[in-house]
Amino acid sequence: MSRTAVAGRCGFFSPGGRRGFTNDDLRFTHQTRFAASRHGHSEGTARQTATTSIVIRKSERQTNLNAKHFMKTKKSKKTQITIANNNIPDVHGAETVMNELARVANERRQFIARLDDAILNLQADAAPGLKQLDTEIATRTEALRAWALASPEAFGKRKSIAFAAGTVGFRTGTPALEPLNKKWTWQTITAAVALAWPRYIRMRTEVDRAALLARRADPEIATALPALGLRVVQSEAFFVEANLGEAAG
């Protein structure tokens, strides 16, 4: 089959011509479909696999172009304040540095927005192919599970069987307690255990710090806290909030 035919079968051509795909893309598409067919996939699956692979390649190229374009944007003027040694002389210098910080923060926000858009586009392009592959994996997994349950003689004393391409089997889970039947709830179980084996009832004791803090101005509480090994602390943390959305001058 020719490259043109492969591209047409995969939906890469429209009445208006190509949609941004190169000859290298078409070669990659042909190779992908050939590999999928060799692994026993149907024609539709092979075509979907090739389509997903090629749109991912296209999205990756577009992401690289966006990143290169963004990094080529106009560089800002050289800062007039030396901050290598935290050398800000006065409040005007601090405002200048704040302006520079806001500019850089805005550039970072724009870069992240472009990155998020590229990721969303890539995920949207890949979603149909991934959904199809996940469906095929789930179908084959369920078929193998049904075979394993119906064929205990194939396992013998083993819990798994190793094939050339992978392993199937049963894993023993972690021991757990659960209600015996629908007549029992965890509330009734707790009451029964409390009567029969109270040592297996877990009690948690801790200081109600929120209540003590709420009454920290109460003279009785304030006086008693040191004797109980407590004190009220309230730290301060420096912050910088850049005004995003508008370029700082």
Q: What is the pLDDT of residues 153-179, one digit of tens each?
A: 999 999 999 999 999 999 999 999 999
Cα of 74 vs its chain's centroid, Å: 33
Any idea which residue has 């858009």 for tokens?
A: 117
Rounded distance between C-alpha atoms, residue 79 and residue 95, angstroms: 12
Q: What pLDDT, on a 0 to 100 scale, did the predictor assign at position 244? A: 85
The β-bridge partners of 17 are: 14
- List Cβ<8 Å contacts ≥24 apart for 28-36: 28/53, 28/54, 28/57, 29/3, 29/53, 29/54, 30/1, 30/3, 30/6, 33/6
Rounded distance between C-alpha atoms, residue 122 and residue 116, angstroms: 10
Amino acid at 147: W
**Going by C-beta distance under 8 Å and a sequence separation of 6 or more, which residues neighbour residue 159?**
169, 170, 171, 172
Rounded distance between C-alpha atoms, residue 22 and residue 24, angstroms: 5
Q: What pLDDT, on a 0 to 100 scale, did the predictor assign at position 61? A: 63
pTM of the predicted structure, to 2 decimals: 0.51
Q: What pLDDT, on a 0 to 100 scale, did the predictor assign at position 19? A: 47
Summary count for the chain: helices (H), strands (E): 8, 4
pLDDT < 70 positions in the chain = 1-85, 246-249
Q: What is the pLDDT of residues 5-49, one digit of tens each?
A: 444 444 444 444 444 455 565 555 555 555 555 555 555 555 555
Q: Which two tokens stand for residue 48?
A: 């979907």
Residue 32's Cβ-count burial label (10 Å; 0-12, 13-18, 19+) is buried
Rounded distance between C-alpha atoms, residue 141 and residue 53, angstroms: 24
Rounded distance between C-alpha atoms, residue 83 and residue 101, angstroms: 12
